[in-house]
Amino acid sequence: MIIVFLGPPGAGKGTQCKRLVERYGVNHLSSGDILRRERKEGTELGKEAQGYMDSGQLVPDDLIVAMMMKEIQPASNGAGVVLDGFPRTIGQARALDEALEKAGQRVDVALNLGVDDDKLEQRITGRRSCPSCGAVYHMAFNPPKNGETCDKDGASLVQRSDDTSEVVRHRIATYHEQTAPLIDFYEKSSLHNIDGNVSIDDVTGQMFAAVDDVKGKAGM
């Protein structure tokens, strides 16, 4: 099963993807996480992506499509894959469809997690993560027990360099310009709208219902 997860930055895609992995055993591929790994390792791709990421712009399609296709082919076997943050432009979505068609596959469901703009900035700027175990916190909604240290291993939490107010505003504008048109793109085939303004558990409930429905209809 191939799941595309759409939604603005800060909508909670990462949190919900972890729950999809637990329930359905799918692989989770986050284009943002892969790019951050490339940057940490100092690869050519990481260096090329850096300037775009730090200013809240999208990395060019050709780089992203090549990077993601390498990962999607092996990950989409077995239980399948949830794509988090990819595709993010119509060009990327078309490239994905073409590659999947060649492999006899298709996007089974596109989940569109909608959150009002005024909530996004607060959700993103309060976000902190643990550099050693990857646990994610929010200073207002899901704070760590002691200051800004990880509950699991005591490491000092960090803020993503692109989670500051100025860059966040740019990322939200980029989403409206370049990624929101994907809602129409998937509307005709596989779109399920999910209200992301409610609690984390309520969002999960809507998401599981949508995926169960698709699986039931397709006999998966």
Catalytic residue list: 13, 88, 127, 160, 171
Instruction: Give the position of tokens 């209200």.
Output: 195
Q: Is 113 in the site for ligand AMP (CB under 6 A)?
A: no
According to CB under 6 A, which residues from 129 to 168 bind ligand AMP? 162
Q: Is 56 in the site for ligand AMP (CB under 6 A)?
A: yes
Mark the segment that binds ligand AMP (CB under 6 A) among 82-90, 128-136, 198-206, 210-218.
Answer: 82-90
Residue 4 tokens read as 């595309």
Q: Is 32 in the site for ligand AMP (CB under 6 A)?
A: yes
**Which one among 8, 12, 85, 144 touches ligand AMP, defined by CB under 6 A?**
85
Closer residue to ligand AMP, CB minimum distance, 92 or 129: 92
* Plot region of 198 (φ>0 → left; ψ -120 to 50 → alpha; else → beta): beta
How far is Cα 211 from Cα 203, in angstroms, rounded to an integer?
12
Q: Is 88 in the site for ligand AMP (CB under 6 A)?
A: yes
Q: Which single residue brings its beta carbon nearest to ligand AMP? A: 32
Residue 121 tokens read as 């900035």
Closer residue to ligand AMP, CB minimum distance, 58 or 130: 58
Mark the segment that binds ligand AMP (CB under 6 A) among 71-79, 84-92, 101-109, 137-145.
Answer: 84-92
User: Could you tell me if 1 and 72 are in contact, meaning their C-beta atoms sit under 8 angstroms apart?
Assistant: no
According to CB under 6 A, which residues from 1 to 20 bind ligand AMP? 9
Closer residue to ligand AMP, CB minimum distance, 57 or 193: 57
Binding site for ligand AMP (CB under 6 A): 9, 31-32, 35, 52-53, 56-59, 64, 85-86, 88, 92, 162, 171
